[in-house]
Structure 1
Amino acid sequence: MTPEIDDAFEAVEKQYGAGSIDRVRQMLDPARQERHPLQKNAKWILPGLSKKPWHDPYEHPEIAPVVRAFEAGHARIKEELTTAWSRSRPSFTDYEHYLSTQSDWQALYLFRAGAPVPESAQVVPTAYRILDEYALRTGIHCPLLESHFSTLLPGAVVKPHCDLWNFSINLHLAVDIPEGCGIKVADEARAWVEGRCLLFDYSFEHEAWNKGDGTRSCLLVDLWHPETTLAERAALTALITEIRLLLGE
């Protein structure tokens, strides 16, 4: 660890109490990590979080309000995204996953690089407003990651992979779902239901596909795992931010 990380951890413990970030410290010791076999390619596993690939979107009191707000706004969100796809295509870019970039996987970002993308408020205002009101202002959005519309073109495949860690969790609002689309997390495949949300732990191996004739679009939102504490969130934000600075990101 660097002096900057040590100082940040000390400040968190001063605010929240001794022992408040013990799980974060344990996460940094690979010898003390316990993980599910299907999490083996994730870089960091915060101990003590439920080893559960799929979550009920309504089961967590912290997350349920944003789920309901996005679902209630689905019709307007779909209308605005359809208009953006036809009239504002330059707003979409090839999705840059940490493992690869895919031209058949297009993204329209609402939050990226630690900040909202204000241009998106003009293009997809309903989704932008709900994200701001229910996720950013409430602090449940993980600022280390993103929120974006994810559009898979016909024939696109997202190969099986694990994302970086388990201390955030991925929310999908199914915006526009043609036949032939699906997602598999760990050993269970599911289909998106248009207008409804899915919630899963993407430290588990997962994959997705569009075998249909139309584009498949979901709104993806990276939220803090509901079993993390405020102290842990502060420490993890400081830790990952410092690591990215050291890597020149």
Structure 2
Amino acid sequence: MTPETETAFAAIRAEFGAASLARVERMLEPGAGKERHPLQRAAKWILPGLSPTPWHDPYAHAELAPVVRALEANQLAIKQELDAAWAGRREVFADYEHYLNRQQDWQALHLFRDGALVEESALLAPTAHRVVRETAVETEKICPLLECHFSTLLPGAVIAPHCDLWNFSINLHLAVDIPDGCRITVAGETRSWAEGKCLLFDYSFEHEARNEGTRPRTCLLIDLWHPETTPPERRALTALFTEIRRLLGES
């Protein structure tokens, strides 16, 4: 770790106790992460002690349930605003740049990115922007290392099987506009989105998605803190990976 990270960790231990970062410290040990599910093998970072559960019940976690309920309650307005933006402001949707690749048939409109809300998107998707701000950003449930965006798969698009970088955040999907022929597979289990409902899964497990329908499929994706992580761990992980990205020239 760098001196900056050491200083941040020391301040967190002083506030929360010497053992508060034990799992983060174990994650950083040489050879760490070997104790993982085989379908997490390509994830770079595995925080020990989190339940190795690919699919989660969106309503089962008291911390996350208010986000789920608010998104589902506002899905119709969110869809109407998305449709208007897609029809009238198509240029604001960009090819999605996943850390593994960039896909032209995977389009995105960001509401939260680089640790902050994208204010320009409030004009295009005011309902989604407000709900995300009130329920996820202001409550610090969103992982500031990641993002929230409308994810649109064009007809025929396939997201190849992959693992995301780590297991300490979790991916929430609000099904905004779902044609027939769309599905997602996580750890070998395939499900379909139900329009107006949320799916929640641990994307450190291998997953893939495809749109075999005849029109675009859109979900609103939010990267939330895994509900089994603690406040001191979240602070430490944010400091750690912000510093890693700085050293790699990514920020």
TM bucket normalised to smaller: over 0.9
Per the alignment, in what secondary structure is the counterpart of residue 85 of structure 1?
Answer: helix
Q: Distance in 2 between matches of 1:32 and 1:137?
A: 33
Q: Distance in 2 between matches of 1:113 and 1:132?
A: 15
Q: Distance in 2 between matches of 1:171 and 1:32?
A: 27
Q: TM-score, with normalisation over the residues of structure 2?
A: 0.98
Runs of 4+ off more than 6 Å: none
Q: Distance in 2 between matches of 1:13 and 1:103?
A: 45
- Give the Å deviation of 1:113: 1.1
Q: What is aligned with 1:6?
A: 6
Aligned-partner residue type, residue 138 of structure 2: R
- Give the Å deviation of 1:30: 4.3
Q: Distance in 2 between matches of 1:132 and 1:218?
A: 17
- Give the Å deviation of 1:90: 1.5
Q: What is aligned with 1:77?
A: 78
- Give the Å deviation of 1:91: 1.3
Pair 121,99 (structure 1): closer, same or farther in 2 beyond 3 Å: same
Q: Distance in 2 between matches of 1:82 and 1:28?
A: 44
Q: What is aligned with 2:31?
A: 31
Number of aligned positions between the proteins: 249
Aligned-partner residue type, residue 138 of structure 1: T
In the TM superposition, 1:197-216 aligns within 5 A as: 197-216=198-217
Q: TM-score, with normalisation over the residues of structure 1?
A: 0.99
Q: What is aligned with 1:109?
A: 110
Q: Distance in 2 between matches of 1:104 and 1:221?
A: 20
Q: Distance in 2 between matches of 1:212 and 1:90?
A: 23
- Give the Å deviation of 1:194: 0.2
Q: Distance in 2 between matches of 1:31 and 1:98?
A: 23
Aligned-partner residue type, residue 104 of structure 2: S
Q: Does 1:43 align with 2:40?
A: no
Aligned-partner residue type, residue 145 of structure 1: L
Q: Does 1:228 align with 2:226?
A: no
Per the alignment, in what secondary structure is the counterpart of residue 38 of structure 1?
Answer: helix
RMSD over aligned Cα atoms:
0.6
- Give the Å deviation of 1:32: 3.5
Per the alignment, in what secondary structure is the counterpart of residue 7 of structure 1?
Answer: helix
Deviations 1:4-27 (CA, angstroms, capped at 9, x unpaired): 111111111011111100100101
Q: Distance in 2 between matches of 1:30 and 1:170?
A: 28
Deviations 1:46-92 (CA, angstroms, capped at 9, x unpaired): 00000000000000000000100000000000000000000011211
Per the alignment, in what secondary structure is the counterpart of residue 31 of structure 1?
Answer: coil
Deviations 1:139-166 (CA, angstroms, capped at 9, x unpaired): 1000000000000000000000000000
Q: Distance in 2 between matches of 1:171 and 1:195?
A: 13
Q: What is aligned with 2:127?
A: 126
Q: Distance in 2 between matches of 1:32 and 1:114?
A: 27
Q: What is aligned with 2:90?
A: 89
Q: Distance in 2 between matches of 1:88 and 1:151?
A: 14
Per the alignment, in what secondary structure is the counterpart of residue 71 of structure 2?
Answer: helix
Structure 2 regions of 5+ residues with no counterpart?
none
Q: What is aligned with 1:246?
A: 247
Aligned-partner residue type, residue 26 of structure 1: R
Q: Distance in 1 between matches of 2:226 and 2:54?
A: 12
